[in-house]
Structures are given as structure tokens and as C-alpha cells.
Amino acid sequence: MMNSTTITTADAPKPKSLGLQDAASSRPLLILVFAQIYLLFLVATARSTFAQVMLMTCVESLLVWLLTTLFFSRTWPGFFKRCGELLIMTIVLAMFMMIFGLLETTWGADSDPSNWFEEMPAMVASNSFHYTFIYIVVLAAGWLLMAWQSGNARPWWAANVAAPASVTFAGMFMACVAGGVMIVFFSSPPDAGHHVVQVHAPRAITPILLFIIYSLTRVFISWTMATKFTPEEWRKTEARLYFDAA
């Protein structure tokens, strides 16, 4: 009896893959790389600040998960669960933006981090909004076009857009760590005229370095997902994205 049970358990079929491994492609990485080059160009030419380009990536992340919520939610419980995840994602991204804003307002001896609450609304209302629009439209259009041309849009979107969305948080985390290291090495105690720690980091190069760290982290992990994920890792990804599949 025990042998029969053991054989039956051993011979039980593994969960069938829903096609994410076959749908994974390196082509979307080209879009991602060009997008990061575009953002780096904005920072390097001072068309946008570091915090502004990071805000663009926050909008990108929220758009990805909003589209994923609409595409993948086949039941009302699944829809509301993803809406809750979208709310949590918004809160986490807001926390990252607070850190990036504080980092940016501490660069240079004449900066005062207490002005953060004044600078952030001005950043959102600045004339660089059209750069954000171009970035989001090109990315979304490229993803949707590739998904449609794949002939199997749902698995393609899951493998190449929805699954790598979490990579954005890893890139932001690494940028925050790098910013913290710069504060440790370049900060000085407050003098008589300031009530905050001043960070004498090189203003011209610091935002570029932080963005490069963010971009390299994101591209490298995205490439790893597309080319190195094992079937078991893809099965776990499928379970997370298709939890309410009919």
C-alpha cells in the first residue's frame, strides 16, 4: 500500500507551464536599454533632474501594473487583490521619491533639504512634463505592439513586462544605497548658518552616477530573467500572475 502511494506521488505530473518560458524574449530589453539611454540623456543635459526621471519610472511602474490588473484579472477577487497591490506599490514608490527628493536637495553646499516640500510640487509642474509623456508613450506602445505581434499576447506580456516590473524596485534600492554612501563620504556637520547636514558631493556628476547605477541594475536583472530563469522559476512567476486564472 505504501509502495503504491509512493509511486503514485512520484508519478504525479508537475504543474503544466502556461508558456511564460517560451514567451520570454530579449527583444523588449532593447526597448528598455533605449529608454534608459533617453533618461540618461535628460539627466546629463540638465533637461530633467534626477528626481524627475525617477518620477518617470514611477509612472511607468504604475502603468505596467494597471495594465496587468486589467489584462490578468479574470475574477472580481483577483481584480481587487491587484488593486490592493497597486495601492501598496504606490506607497512604496512615494517613499522612494521622498528619498530621491531629499538626496537631490542635499547636493551642494548651498542646498537646504528643508526646501524639499517646495521643490517636489515644482518638479511635477515643470515644463519637462512632455519628456515624461514621450517616455511613457514610447514604452507602452512598444510593449503593446510586441505583445500583439507575438500571437500570444497574455503570456508575452506576463513574461516580458509584468514579471520584470519588480526589477524597478531593485534598481531604486541600489540608487538609494549609493546615495546613502555618498552622504556618508561627502557630508559635513552643519555650520552656524545651517541646521542640517550639508553634502558636498559633486553636483554635476552625482545624479548621473546614481542613475547609471539604477539603470545597470535594472537592465542586468531584466536580462537575467529573460535568459537565465529556470522552468521552476517561471512556474513560480506564473503562479503569481495567474492566481485567478479560470
Q: Assess if residue 79 is contained within a domain.
A: yes
pLDDT of the residue at 52: 87
State the sign of the Cα–Cα–Cα–Cα dihedral 82, 83, 87, 90. positive
Q: Assess if residue 144 is contained within a domain.
A: yes
- Global confidence as pTM: 0.82
Q: Assess if residue 12 is contained within a domain.
A: no
The torsion defined by the Cα of 155, 157, 159 and 162, in degrees rounded to 10, comes to -130
Range of the domain at 181: 25-231
Q: Assess if residue 240 is contained within a domain.
A: no
Q: Strand, coil or helix: what is 175?
A: helix
* CA distances to 52, 76, 102 from 244, in Å: 36, 9, 40
Q: Assess if residue 166 is contained within a domain.
A: yes
pLDDT of the residue at 7: 43
Listed as ranges, residues in the chain with pLDDT below 50 are: 1-2, 4-16, 109-110, 195-197, 246
The number of domains in the chain is: 1
pLDDT of the residue at 173: 96
Contacts 24+ apart (CB under 8 A), 177-183: 178/209, 178/210, 178/213, 179/99, 179/100, 179/103, 179/210, 182/206, 183/103, 183/106
pLDDT of the residue at 217: 96
